[in-house]
Amino acid sequence: MEKVLEVNDLHISFDTYGGEVKAVRGVTFDLKKGETLAIVGESGSGKSVTTRALARLIPSPPGRIKQGEILFDGKDLAKLKEKEMQQIRGKDISTIFQDPMTSLNPTMKIGNQIMEGLIKHQKMSKAQAKSRAIELLELVGLPNPVERINQYPHQFSGGQRQRIVIAIALACNPKILIADEPTTALDVTIQAQILELMKDIQKKTESSILFITHDLGVVANVADRVAVMYAGKIVEIGTVDEIFYNPKHPYTWGLLGSMPTLDNKEDNLIAIPGSPPDMLKPPKGDAFAPRNEYALEIDKEMEPPMFKVSDTHYAATWLLHEYAPDIEPPEAVKRRMKGFAQTGAGNSKEGERP
Ligand SMILES: Nc1ncnc2c1ncn2[C@@H]1O[C@H](COP(=O)(O)OP(=O)(O)OP(=O)(O)O)[C@@H](O)[C@H]1O
Ligand SMILES: [Mg+2]
């Protein structure tokens, strides 16, 4: 499959009074045309910083891209001037964030907010942009778009506002859509509708989606591939099936073990002990070692490289080294893996994945 984005060894830091917060420490991945890549991991693992950097939305100062490449359309976005980036942001790369209110301008009619990008990037006339805005609002399922186009954001519900944000994000048929917890602030039924909508639109437009979420259940339903982040690094990446049925990193085991499933109610949840490291002083060796009951001696000394499990599956754990002891996931996680295999982790996409 054709790659639309390639991120190589990306490092991002924030200069604070306390020192340098090393938020992203060598992230490498690519995004293929038409796919959805989910990024999961605990709070503070660097999901938002990584993806915001792709649209160059890291406030600077205090933030800065220290090192690495973000290759898109023959350019390295990490080094692009803000002026050039403005041609790409909102046109080729669009973003949807958790709280729609922060993405909308409260003093501007929603129609005008959708038309802005169309006039700027697509060089449409006002009349053309208006009819396209109405089409887009229909596409995202907002009732009575002809009348409502003249209303302000506060006149809509949270779910409706998120639909408007999606309409704005989609206005210029972006090649990449970055959705950072787009449904977390919404109630469950609306969440499901919005996710369904994103999947539908993706089919029509062949855009690639980077989807950030805390919710592994959502991942199973919407993603093709999953990247697991811990302490500013991707520690495991693979297809949904590989991550759910054959996870290799003890941190991924921890995430799966702490995920509620239908037959495995809360009482069986296993929380990951301890908390993530302080990114002002990331530890030597494997950052997960202090919380990892399967840690080896070498984990305290040396960071594990990405070991290859399959052409699409990689994990950064010394347990995959040929001389490492043979350690299986804990029983509770294995039961869960079996459960996923029986019910189908990504059942709504069965047969579509390569
Ligand atoms: N403006 C900032 N100044 C200093 N540190 C920051 C800033 N923004 C983010 N960080 C730090 O960068 C790290 C990664 O943050 P990020 O927001 O990417 O986490 P996340 O994985 O998106 O978490 P969450 O799931 O809570 O959204 C954290 O340690 C955070 O404290
Ligand atoms: Mg975040």
pLDDT digits (tens, 9 = 90+) for 184-206: 877 778 778 888 888 888 888 89
Percentage with pLDDT > 70 across the chain: 94
For residue 97, which ligand has an atom nearest its CA?
Answer: 2
Q: What are the tens digits of pLDDT across the range 26-40?
A: 999 999 999 999 999
pLDDT for residue 354:
38
DSSP string, 117-141: HHHHHS---HHHHHHHHHHHHHHTT
Q: Where does the pLDDT of residue 267 fall: very low under 50, low under 70, confident under 90, or very high at 90 and above?
A: low
pLDDT at 58 over 80: yes
Length of the chain in terms of residues written: 354
User: How many A from CA of 232 to the centre of ligand 1?
Assistant: 9
Region at 90 (left for phi over 0; alpha for psi -120 to 50; beta for the rest): left
pLDDT at 347 over 50: no
pLDDT at 299 over 70: yes
* DSSP-assigned letter for residue 242: H
pLDDT for residue 343:
66
What would the mean pLDDT of 144-172 be, rounded to a whole number?
Answer: 93
For residue 229, which ligand has an atom nearest its CA?
Answer: 1
Q: Mean pLDDT of all residues in the chain? A: 90
User: How many A from CA of 131 to the centre of ligand 2?
Assistant: 35
pLDDT at 337 over 90: no
User: How many A from CA of 286 to the centre of ligand 1?
Assistant: 20
For residue 180, which ligand has an atom nearest its CA?
Answer: 2
Residue with the bigger pLDDT between 192 and 135: it is 135
What would the mean pLDDT of 276-283 be, rounded to a whole number?
Answer: 92
Please state, in angstroms and rounded to a whole number, the distance separating the CA atoms of residues 167 and 89: 15
Probe ligand 1: pick from 48, 66, 180, max atoms within 8 Å of CB?
48
What would the mean pLDDT of 14-36 be, rounded to a whole number?
Answer: 97
Where helices occur in the chain by DSSP H, the ranges are 47-54, 82-88, 100-103, 110-121, 126-139, 145-148, 158-170, 188-205, 216-222, 240-245, 250-257, 331-343
Q: Closest Cα to atom 22, ligand 1: which residue?
A: 48
pLDDT for residue 306:
97
User: How many A from CA of 47 to the centre of ligand 2?
Assistant: 6
> Within a 10 A sphere around the Cβ of 246, how many other Cβ atoms?
17
Which of 71-75, 91-95, 204-208 has the least mean pLDDT? 204-208
CB of 60 closer than 6 angstroms to any ligand 1 atom: no
pLDDT for residue 263:
57
pLDDT for residue 194:
82
Handedness of CA 180, 184, 185, 189 (dihedral sign): positive
User: How many A from CA of 255 to the centre of ligand 1?
Assistant: 19
Q: Where does the pLDDT of residue 261 fall: very low under 50, low under 70, confident under 90, or very high at 90 and above?
A: low
Please state, in angstroms and rounded to a whole number, the distance separating the CA atoms of residues 291 and 70: 31
Q: Could you identify the atom of ligand 1 that is nearest to the CA of residue 229? A: 21
Q: What is the pTM of this model?
A: 0.92
pLDDT for residue 192:
82
Q: Closest Cα to atom 28, ligand 1: which residue?
A: 44
Probe ligand 1: pick from 11, 21, 97, 235, max atoms within 8 Å of CB?
21
pLDDT for residue 338:
77
